[in-house]
Amino acid sequence: MIQICNTDSIQHVADKLRSSSSVVVLTGAGISQESGVPTFRGKEGLWKNFRSEDLATLEAFERDPVLVWQWYDWRRSLIKPLKPNPAHYALAELEKGIQDFTLVTQNVDGLHRVAGSKNPIEMHGTLWGVRCMQCNKRFENREVPIKILPECESCGGLLRPDVVWFGEPIDAEILHAIYRCLEKVQVMLVVGTSGMVQPAASFSLVAKRAGALVVEINRSETPQSGFFDFSFQGKAGEILPKLVQYVTQ
Ligand code: OAD
């Protein structure tokens, strides 16, 4: 149910977080919006001006790797100078006090790590990684601009961004790890995601079935808002630091 993020509701969620040993947080593009990272949907979303079919599928890469790499190089150049915002830092702080804390992000910007989150599960991969189309080796790569087309230092094959494109499966081990956490989670926070992309969109259903308190933090109402125990409307960079302050005080 949509809730005003007032002292009572935030205190209720904070109390539950404080007494929980197992917490899962799912984040999406909205958590990085206040850092200056564009979101995907909505008025200023990337998918307003670009077609995902042309840029974020394996077929697009096989058809025109230069175009796809130019787009990823542009995103890397946009994101490289950006810093985490108070929402990223609040999650890194929350993690310190909870025994079993899992941060799952759909974001590829790497900002959770920069903020100090210990082991975020980057389920859609990372902009700062490349993978060889030929030998499948993964490498870290932070060059901006990147040489287009980049080649594998091991076998000379074509490198691709180490991200999950539309139509590609999420790594099975990663998914198993996430579902194991969701089956025993006590509180789940769902922050800055429109809930339009599977399988992430259904993680909260699994958590709810496991009996968790599920809380959404989003600037706008989403199709799932009515389903959550609490849906706090507002900026993640304002609500999360307040929530974590209540937990730690
Ligand atoms: P979306 O762009 O679909 O949704 C962003 C959500 O963040 C929206 O619901 C906004 O209302 C909310 N939002 C924006 N600014 C916010 C703020 N300051 N505080 C809180 N909420 C805010 O992004 P995702 O849900 O992350 O996948 O998209 C999921 C996936 O779709 C992405 O990982 C990407 C994309 O296509 C792949 O590339 C595979």
- Are 178 and 203 within 8 A, CB to CB? yes
Which pair of tokens denotes residue 74? 């542009």
| Section 124-140 average pLDDT | 98
Place of tokens 């975020």: 120
DSSP conformational letter for 151: B
Share of the chain above pLDDT 70, in %: 98
Q: What is the pLDDT of residue 89?
A: 98
Does the CB atom of residue 161 touch ligand 1 within 6 A? no
The best mutation among 204, 217, 219 to test binding of ligand 1, ranked by most ligand atoms within 8 Å of the C-beta, falls on: 219
Q: What is the pLDDT of residue 247?
A: 97
Atom of ligand 1 nearest to the CA of 28: 26
Residue 1, pLDDT above cutoff 80:
no
Backbone angles phi, psi at 16, to 5 degrees: -65, -40
Q: What is the pLDDT of residue 105?
A: 98
The CA 134 to ligand 1 mean position distance, Å, reads 32
Q: Which residues are catalytic?
A: 124
- Are 79 and 91 within 8 A, CB to CB? no
Q: Which residues pair with 230 in a beta bridge?
A: 215
Does the CB atom of residue 120 touch ligand 1 within 6 A? no
| Section 101-116 average pLDDT | 98
| DSSP line for 15-79 | HHHHT-SEEEEEE-THHHHTTT---SSSTT-HHHHS-HHHHSBHHHHHH-HHHHHHHHHHHHHHH
| Section 152-161 average pLDDT | 98
- Closest residue by Cα to atom 29, ligand 1, is 197
Share of the chain above pLDDT 90, in %: 90
Q: What is the pLDDT of residue 114?
A: 98
Q: pTM of the entire structure?
A: 0.96
Question: Is beta strand 125-132 parallel, antiparallel or unpaired with respect to 138-140?
Answer: antiparallel
Residue 65, pLDDT above cutoff 80:
yes
The CA 40 to ligand 1 mean position distance, Å, reads 6
Atom of ligand 1 nearest to the CA of 200: 29
